[in-house]
């Protein structure tokens, strides 16, 4: 009961009704343009409004799919105020999907991610959270209306989200490795990503040496177990949550459990569809473990 009351207080500070639903994405626009042209315009707007583009890639090495990752000093500084993997929400993402000659532009809903990752840790940062979210959304409002997209979850459920009973929460990550030091872990993960171990691709890297925190955005390019396999099943329209991440905090490397992260960003998944990718969470974990091996 106490936890529920705290969540209601947080949502009130964010001016969000507890019963309100949030979608994981916004559909920004559908345009008659190439992905290259559409993304160039978006990236120019992102940087013009004080954000930095830190990575981009084609999920599943599919030229019809494209993701741009961006952040800001304000977002990075805010994320570091949350000790439990807060830096995972230090990166915002926008996606471009080409189908039938048109490109659909989507944006990961900042408040959806912030509430899911930070909701139980918020302690006075609500105004900054809203300000960053609104600043990001205002960039995309220049290109179209932000329509809710990709399903929905009640706002009050996001801070302690899980798919169903016996499924993991945000604070139950997959533990990948323990290193002798932060510096050792950073070097090992960097080297393995640079070599493309496990058929991976480094999309971005954020390192906060003073806090001993690093986040790596990792493209999963294995044809049998990676994005090319599971995105076709769960839905390519939701790729604005990609890439998957490894976070290094101190000596510990972890990742969000696949059964949590996939369900969070594909909230419309039926149990039948989830069963079609039942091996995917473990396969992603295996791939990430390869990146932590000495």
pLDDT tens sequence across 187-213: 999 999 999 999 999 999 999 999 999
* Percent of all residues in the chain with a pLDDT value above 70, rounded to a whole number: 94
- pLDDT averaged over every residue in the chain: 94
In this structure, what is the dihedral angle of CA atoms 243, 174, 151, 9, given to the nearest 10 degrees? -110
266 burial level (CB within 10 Å; 0-12, 13-18, 19+)? buried
CB 104 within 8 A of CB 113: no
* Alpha carbons within 13 A on the beta-carbon side of 26: 24
Q: Pairing relation of β-strands 213-220 and 92-99?
A: unpaired
pLDDT in tens, 76-129: 999 999 999 999 999 999 999 999 999 999 999 999 999 999 999 999 999 999
Residues 6+ apart with CB under 8 A from 200: 192, 193, 218, 219, 220, 221, 287, 290, 291
pLDDT in tens, 219-238: 999 999 999 999 999 999 99
Residue environment code for 36-59, b if the CB has 16+ CB neighbours within 10 A, otherwise e: eebbeebbeebeeeebebbbbbbb
Q: Which domains does the chain have, with CATH numbers?
A: 3-7+23-152 (3.30.310.70), 174-290 (3.30.310.70)
Cα separation, 253 vs 85, in Å, equals: 10
pLDDT in tens, 66-84: 999 999 999 999 999 999 9
C-alpha pair distances (Å), 217 with each of 141, 203, 204, 254: 26, 5, 5, 13
The three-state DSSP-derived secondary structure of 19-31 is CCEECCEEEEEEE
pTM of the predicted structure, to 2 decimals: 0.94
Backbone angles phi, psi at 195, to 5 degrees: -85, -10
Residue with tokens 């019963």: 19
Beta bridge partners of 214: 207, 248
Residue with tokens 């991610």: 113
């Amino acid at each position: 009961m106490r936890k529920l009351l705290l969540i209601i207080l947080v949502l009130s500070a964010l001016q969000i009704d507890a019963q309100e639903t949030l979608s994981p994405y916004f559909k920004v626009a559908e345009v008659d343009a190439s992905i290259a042209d559409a993304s160039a315009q978006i990236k120019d707007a992102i940087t013009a409004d004080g954000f930095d583009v830190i990575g981009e890639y084609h999920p599943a090495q599919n030229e019809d799919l494209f993701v741009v990752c961006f952040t800001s000093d304000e977002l990075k500084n805010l994320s570091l105020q949350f000790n439990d993997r807060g830096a995972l929400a230090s990166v915002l993402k926008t996606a471009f999907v080409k189908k039938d000659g048109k490109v659909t532009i989507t944006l990961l809903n900042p408040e959806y991610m912030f509430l899911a990752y930070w909701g139980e840790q918020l302690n006075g940062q609500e105004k900054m959270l809203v300000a960053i979210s609104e600043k990001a959304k205002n960039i995309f409002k220049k290109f179209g209306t932000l329509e809710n997209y990709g399903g929905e979850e009640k706002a009050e459920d996001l801070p302690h989200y899980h798919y169903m009973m016996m499924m993991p929460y945000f604070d139950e990550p997959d533990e990948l490795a323990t290193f002798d030091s932060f510096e050792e872990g950073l070097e090992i993960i960097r080297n393995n990503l640079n070599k493309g171990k496990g058929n991976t691709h480094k999309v971005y890297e954020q390192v906060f040496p003073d806090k001993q925190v690093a986040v790596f955005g990792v493209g999963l390019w294995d044809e049998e177990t990676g994005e090319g396999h599971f995105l076709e099943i769960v839905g390519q329209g939701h790729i604005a949550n990609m890439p998957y991440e490894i976070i290094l905090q101190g000596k510990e490397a972890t990742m969000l459990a696949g059964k949590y992260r996939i369900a969070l960003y594909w909230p419309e998944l039926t149990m039948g569809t989830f069963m079609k990718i039942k091996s995917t969470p473990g396969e992603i974990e295996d791939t990430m473990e390869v990146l932590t091996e000495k």
